[in-house]
Amino acid sequence: MSWIDTWSDRSRSALIAGVSAAVMLVAAGLILAAYDRQVYQDQKLQEIGVQAEILAASVTAPLQFDDAEATQEYLNALQADPQMDGAAVYDRTGKTVASAVRDPARPVPFAALPERSEVLDGFFAVSKRIVQNDRVVGTVYLRAVSEPLGRRLTRYGGILLTLVMAAVVVAILVTAHTALSRANAQLKARAAQLAATNDRLLVEISEREKAEDALRQAQKMEAVGQLTGGIAHDFNNMLAVIVGNLSLLLRRAAQGKTDLAKYAEGALEGANRGARLTQQLLAFSRQSPLAPVPVDPNKLVAGMSDLLRRAIGEHIRFETVIAGGIWTIFADRTQLETAILNLAVNARDAMPDGGTLTVETSNAHLMDVAAGGPGTPTASGDFVVICVRDTGSGMTPEVVAKAFDPFVTTKPVGQGTGLGLSQVYGFVKQSRGHVKIDSEPGRGTMVKLYLPRHSGQERKEKASDTAVVLPPGNLQEVILVVEDDATVRRVAVDSLRDLGYTVHHADGAAQALRLLDQMPQVKLLFTDIVMPDGNGRKLAEDATAAHPDLKVLFTTGYARDAIMHNGVLDEGVALLPKPYTIQQLASKVRDVLGSHTLH
């Protein structure tokens, strides 16, 4: 073999070795490039994961307080990092609380994803759960831009420059690893700082909640003390009237005097004042049973004009402004008249030197308004407005803010219970309406009652129970009185017998059912609602199931749920509230005995 052949073989070998070396260099470059790409992805995912943990720690408190605004601020701050393409925070149900994207064409997921890290087309994405006290309270999502492969290959140079590329790659990897380690250390330190800050914030929140609870409890106790003190003051005055008149009556009777009626009337007036105070308390607490009927506001105001003129006196000018086309409302007529009268009396007391009292009616449509106080409407719809306006002394904003509180009054001691506006507020709210006060010192006061428009078909308003002559009974009409209080039972039985009825009585539901089985001739069951051995409504249901023709009349001093719902008497229920006069008893019994049977 000649040297040429030898050279050719060597050249071929060198070429093959060179090509092989080149292929190996290219393969090594590709392998290194692929390795670097994988390392970069892992590092980037780890970095984003740390950022996601920091974000999760930062938004834990805002999520617990449903503070979407604070959560959004954290996401907006992330936009300062040009690598961040999108971020979102979701609550524990997966619903989006806040989100931020650099390009609206690339929205974040609309619902929370499972906890994971992934490489998307040109992006890195990480989802992390937000855990507080071993409880998942939400999820965070971060998406960052991925560096294009071509740019990284260009940066590495030609793959044939293996040594240079390897050195550069190694240097880059070492530098990147060092920078990433430093960044990770900084991020961990920042995460620890944020965690400590969050812990301090939670402690401060807990302490603030405890302080607020203590303040609310103190305010409750102050309100209870004010309420009980006012009740005790007014009831003691009324009891003084009752006890004083009855003592004089007994003394004069023992002396053989016959002019005793005025003392009995005085005691009765004191008792009636106590009954009115109790009704005001129930109205304020929205627990007074309402018997609403369709009411024409214009006719009601016009019908009250004479009463209002007498109540305010001749030194005050009285005006009515009646709008046309007023809608019908569905309200308790007596309670509404009492509310208007209370407002008129308050207006009169605010104008001791005279002035003008105006009662207006109008229609109004209210839009939804966030609750902001006693006078702020909280529901939308059609309402009829009854406005009582005076030109009196007016009230300061501080007084207006407390005007609906019980036993708060600007009148001198002994001239007001402080329950007038409380009764108005309770009645209107129980009727699903609103009350608003506008007042200015020296300019007068305007109180607006917003009562919902009525368009349905409801039971019609009954005639007044007031009667001059007591409706008589007869011995063939048998009544069973059920009352657990022996004194109250004796008064009811004696009153009904005095009216001419045949009366039997029981001290509870069990005895009443036995007597009804023994006496099928009983026509009317007159029962208390609240009793130790069962409520009166259950007794009435059991009794009418066994005796379908039996009529029922309820009586009670307080009944929240047994015969009424949402403050309104159930359909077909007859009720005589305690205390009652013999005239009211006679009229109601006569009315029920002539009415349809309660089912």
Q: Is the pLDDT of residue 16 over 70?
A: no
For the chain, the average pLDDT equals 78
Please report which confidence band the pLDDT of residue 469 belongs to, taking 50, 70 and 90 as the band edges. Answer: low
pLDDT at residue 1 in the model: 53
| Element at 271 (helix H, strand E) | helix 261-284
pLDDT at residue 504 in the model: 93
Please report which confidence band the pLDDT of residue 184 belongs to, taking 50, 70 and 90 as the band edges. Answer: confident
Q: Is the pLDDT of residue 127 over 90?
A: yes
pLDDT at residue 375 in the model: 46
Tell me the DSSP string of 502-523: EEEEESSHHHHHHHHHH-TTEE
Instruction: Assess contact for 303 and 582: CB atoms under 8 A.
Output: no
- Global pTM reads 0.40
Q: Is the pLDDT of residue 378 over 70?
A: no
Q: Which domains does the chain have, with CATH numbers?
A: 3-160 (3.30.450.20), 292-452 (3.30.565.10), 478-593 (3.40.50.2300)
The amino acid occupying position 551 is K
Contacts of 529 (CB under 8 A, 6+ apart): 535, 536, 537, 554, 555, 556, 559, 562, 563
Instruction: Assess contact for 125 and 42: CB atoms under 8 A.
Output: no
* pLDDT: which is higher, 34 or 541: 541
* Across 98-112, 224-238, 310-324, 334-348, least confident range: 224-238
pLDDT at residue 383 in the model: 93
Q: Is the pLDDT of residue 167 over 70?
A: no
Q: Which pair of tokens denotes residue 135? A: 């409880």
Q: Is the pLDDT of residue 148 over 80?
A: no
pLDDT at residue 458 in the model: 45
CA angle, corner 218, sides to 213 and 220, nearest 5? 95
Instruction: Assess contact for 61 and 202: CB atoms under 8 A.
Output: yes
Q: Is the pLDDT of residue 217 over 60?
A: yes
Tell me the average pLDDT across 287-314.
Answer: 83
pLDDT at residue 415 in the model: 45
C-alpha neighbours within 13 Å on the C-beta side of residue 492 = 32
Q: If you average pLDDT over each of 244-248, 510-514, 578-582, which comes out highest?
A: 510-514
Distance CA 292, CA 303 (A): 18
Distance CA 472, CA 495 (A): 12
CB atoms within 10 A of CB 54: 21
